[in-house]
C-alpha cells in the first residue's frame, strides 16, 4: 500500500441466494458489518430497493467506500470495495461471500493513485476550517453526512459538516468533536450525543439549578463526570458555593472541550473548582461520610465507563457521602428511549433514599433520542423540590445570570410527570 493511495477490489459474486440479493435490509446490514469487520469507521450508508428486484447501496467509510448493485434474478452482485490506509478489504470480501452464499466469485484488485505519478501539495488546515464554516450556511451546505445516536429500533440523527475537530480513542471511549449546521459544535462519546453548543443549556441548567434552589444553602458540591464542564459552570454561578469537586474519568473529554467547546468548558479555571481526572465511582466510595451538600452525577449512558454510575453500591456510597439535608441528582435516562435504565435507576434510588425520596424531573433536549430526558433525585432528609416556594429569588437569579431554560415555573413543572411515566415508575 505504501506506493499507492488506495486499494480497489472489484468483485463478482455469482450463484448467490436470490432472496438475500433482494433483501435491502440484510444487504445493508451485511455491507456495514463487512466494513466494520475490516476495521473501517462507518460514516453513513444509503441503500435502495428497486421494484420488482434489485438493491443498490453504498457504505461511506472514513477509509473510502463499499458499494453494491444486485441482480437477484441472476443471483449476482457487483461489489466495489475501495479502501485507503491500512484497512484490509479482503476481510470484507470474505465476510460478504459468506453472507450472500456466493457459489462462485472473482475479484480484480487494483492499486489506485500511484504515488510516483502524483505531486503532493500540503495546504493550510485553517483554510479548510474556513470552508467548513461556510458549509454551515444552508445555501452553501451540500454535504450529506449524519451522526446517528440509536438503539436497535430508534434513532436521532444530526447532519454534520464532515469537519472532525477532535477524534481520539481514549482508554475509555471514542471522543469526538463534530460540527452540525443546526446545533453548532457537538461532543459525542462512542456513538452517542453528549452535548452541543446550541442546546447544552437545557441539560446543564436543569441538572444544576433545581437541586441548588431546593437545597438553598449548598456550599460543598461534588460533580461526578461532566467532562465538558457545563455542569460546573452552572453550579459555580451560585455565589454561596464554597467548593466544587469534579471527578471526570476521561481526560480526553476535558481536553477536547477546553479546546473546541470553550463556551461550555468555561469554568475549569475557577478558583473554587478542584478538578480531578480520576474514577468518580472510587471517589464516592472513599469520600468522607456526610461531606457534600449536593452530589451531581453527570454521566453518560449505562454502557462503557458509565455503567458503574447506575449501580446500587455507587448510590449507597453517594448517600453516605451526603450531609443530612443533602441532595443527589443523576442523569436519569429517558422514559421513551431506554425505559429499562430509566426505571431501574429509580428502583435503585428508592431502595437507598426511600420510596418518597426519589423524585424524577423531566426536561426536553432536542439532541437526545426522543427528546424526552430525565434527572433523578435522591433526597437525604431534604425537602421535596416541589415544595420550594422562594420563587422570587429564583427569578432574580435567572434574570441576573441570563438563564435560558430554568425559571421558577419550570422548577415546579419539571417534577410533574405524565401518567405513563408514573406508571413506569410504579412498575405497571
Ligand atoms: N444519552 C446522553 C446521556 C447524557 C449524558 N451526559 C451528557 C453530558 C453533558 N454534560
Distance 226 CA to ligand 1 centre (A): 8
Atom of ligand 1 nearest to the CA of 200: 9
Ligand 1 atom 4: residue of nearest CA: 300
Distance 307 CA to ligand 1 centre (A): 13
- One digit per residue, pLDDT tens: the chain, 428 residues? 468 999 999 999 999 999 999 999 899 999 999 999 999 988 888 889 998 899 999 999 989 999 999 999 999 999 999 998 888 999 999 999 999 999 999 999 999 999 899 988 776 666 666 666 665 555 555 566 788 898 888 999 998 887 789 989 999 999 999 999 999 999 999 989 999 999 999 999 999 999 999 999 999 999 999 999 999 999 999 999 999 999 999 999 999 999 999 999 999 999 999 999 999 999 999 999 999 999 999 999 887 778 888 899 999 999 999 999 999 999 999 999 999 999 999 999 999 999 999 999 999 999 999 999 999 999 999 999 998 878 999 999 999 999 999 999 999 999 999 999 999 999 87
Which residue has 455503567 as its cell numbers?
A: 307
Query: How many CB atoms sit inside 10 A of residue 226's CB?
Result: 28
* Ordered DSSP codes for 376-421: EEEESSPPPGGG---HHHHHHHHHHHT-SS--HHHHHHTT---HHH
Q: Which of 77, 76, 75, 83 is nearest to 59 (CA)?
A: 83
Query: How many CB atoms sit inside 10 A of residue 284's CB?
Result: 25
Atom of ligand 1 nearest to the CA of 149: 1
Q: Do the Cβ atoms of 43 and 135 come closer than 8 Å?
A: no
Calpha distance 418→362 (Å, rounded): 9
Global confidence as pTM: 0.75
Ligand 1 atom 2: residue of nearest CA: 194
What is the model's pLDDT at position 182? 93
Q: Report helix, strand or coil for 132.
A: helix
Choose one of 155, 195, 375 to mutate for the ligand 1 pocket test, by most ligand atoms within 8 angstroms of C-beta.
Answer: 195
Distances (CA, A) of 335 to 70, 74, 188, 272, 374: 41, 47, 21, 35, 8
Around ligand 1, the residues with Cβ closer than 6 Å are 192, 194-195, 203, 226, 228, 230-231, 298, 300-301, 331, 368
Ligand 1 atom 5: residue of nearest CA: 300
User: Is 152 known to be catalytic?
Assistant: no
Atom of ligand 1 nearest to the CA of 194: 7
What is the model's pLDDT at position 1? 45
What is the model's pLDDT at position 389? 76
Distance 195 CA to ligand 1 centre (A): 6
DSSP state of 288: P
Calpha distance 229→192 (Å, rounded): 18
What totals of helices (H) and strands (E) does the chain contain, helices first? Answer: 13, 19
Distance 203 CA to ligand 1 centre (A): 8
Atom of ligand 1 nearest to the CA of 229: 10
Distance 212 CA to ligand 1 centre (A): 19
Distance 300 CA to ligand 1 centre (A): 5
Which is the catalytic residue, given 30, 199, 228, 298? 298
Atom of ligand 1 nearest to the CA of 228: 10
Q: Report helix, strand or coil for 35.
A: helix
Amino acid at each position: 500500500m505504501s506506493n499507492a493511495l488506495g486499494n480497489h477490489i472489484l468483485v463478482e459474486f455469482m450463484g448467490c441466494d436470490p432472496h438475500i440479493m433482494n433483501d435491502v435490509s440484510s444487504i445493508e446490514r451485511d455491507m456495514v458489518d463487512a466494513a466494520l469487520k475490516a476495521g473501517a469507521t462507518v460514516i453513513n450508508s444509503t441503500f435502495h430497493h428497486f421494484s420488482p428486484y434489485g438493491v443498490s447501496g453504498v457504505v461511506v467509510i472514513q477509509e473510502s467506500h463499499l458499494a453494491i448493485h444486485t441482480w437477484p434474478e441472476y443471483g449476482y452482485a457487483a461489489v466495489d470495495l475501495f479502501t485507503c490506509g491500512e484497512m484490509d478489504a479482503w476481510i470484507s470480501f470474505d465476510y460478504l461471500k459468506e453472507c450472500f452464499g456466493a457459489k462462485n466469485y472473482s475479484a480484480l484488485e487494483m492499486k489506485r493513485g500511484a504515488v510516483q505519478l502524483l505531486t503532493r501539495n500540503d495546504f493550510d488546515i485553517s483554510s479548510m476550517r474556513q470552508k467548513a464554516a461556510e458549509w454551515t450556511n444552508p445555501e452553501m451546505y451540500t454535504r450529506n453526512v449524519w451522526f446517528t445516536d440509536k438503539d436497535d429500533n430508534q434513532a436521532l440523527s444530526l447532519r454534520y459538516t464532515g469537519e472532525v475537530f477532535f477524534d481520539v480513542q481514549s482508554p475509555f471511549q471514542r471522543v469526538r468533536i463534530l460540527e452540525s449546521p443546526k446545533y453548532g459544535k457537538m461532543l459525542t462519546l462512542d456513538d452517542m450525543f453528549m452535548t452541543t453548543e446550541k442546546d447544552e443549556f437545557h441539560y446543564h441548567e436543569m441538572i444544576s439549578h433545581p437541586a441548588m434552589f431546593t437545597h438553598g444553602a449548598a456550599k460543598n458540591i461534588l460533580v461526578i463526570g461532566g467532562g465538558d464542564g457545563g455542569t460546573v459552570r452552572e453550579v459555580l454561578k451560585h455565589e454561596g458555593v464554597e467548593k466544587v469537586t469534579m471527578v471526570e474519568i476521561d481526560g480526553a473529554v476535558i481536553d477536547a472541550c477546553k479546546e473546541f467547546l470553550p463556551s461550555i468548558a468555561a469554568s475549569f479555571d475557577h478558583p473554587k473548582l478542584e478538578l480531578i481526572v480520576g474514577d468518580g465511582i472510587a471517589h464516592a466510595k472513599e469520600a468522607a461520610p456526610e461531606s457534600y451538600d449536593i452530589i451531581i452525577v453527570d454521566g453518560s449512558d449505562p454502557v462503557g465507563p458509565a455503567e458503574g454510575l447506575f449501580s446500587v453500591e455507587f448510590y449507597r456510597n453517594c448517600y453516605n457521602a451526603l450531609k443530612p439535608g443533602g441532595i443527589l441528582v443523576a442523569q436519569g435516562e429517558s422514559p421513551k428511549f431506554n425505559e429499562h435504565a430509566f426505571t431501574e435507576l429509580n428502583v435503585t434510588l428508592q431502595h437507598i433514599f426511600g420510596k418518597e425520596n426519589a423524585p424524577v424531573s423531566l426536561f426536553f433536549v432536542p439532541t437526545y433520542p426522543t427528546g424526552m430526558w430525565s434527572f433523578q433525585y435522591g433526597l437525604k432528609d431534604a425537602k421535596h423540590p416541589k415544595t420550594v416556594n422562594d420563587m422570587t429569588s429564583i427569578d432574580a437569579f435567572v434574570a441576573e445570570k441570563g438563564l435560558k431554560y430554568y425559571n421558577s415555573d419550570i422548577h415546579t413543572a419539571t417534577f410533574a410527570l405524565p401518567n405513563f411515566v408514573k406508571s413506569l415508575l410504579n412498575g405497571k
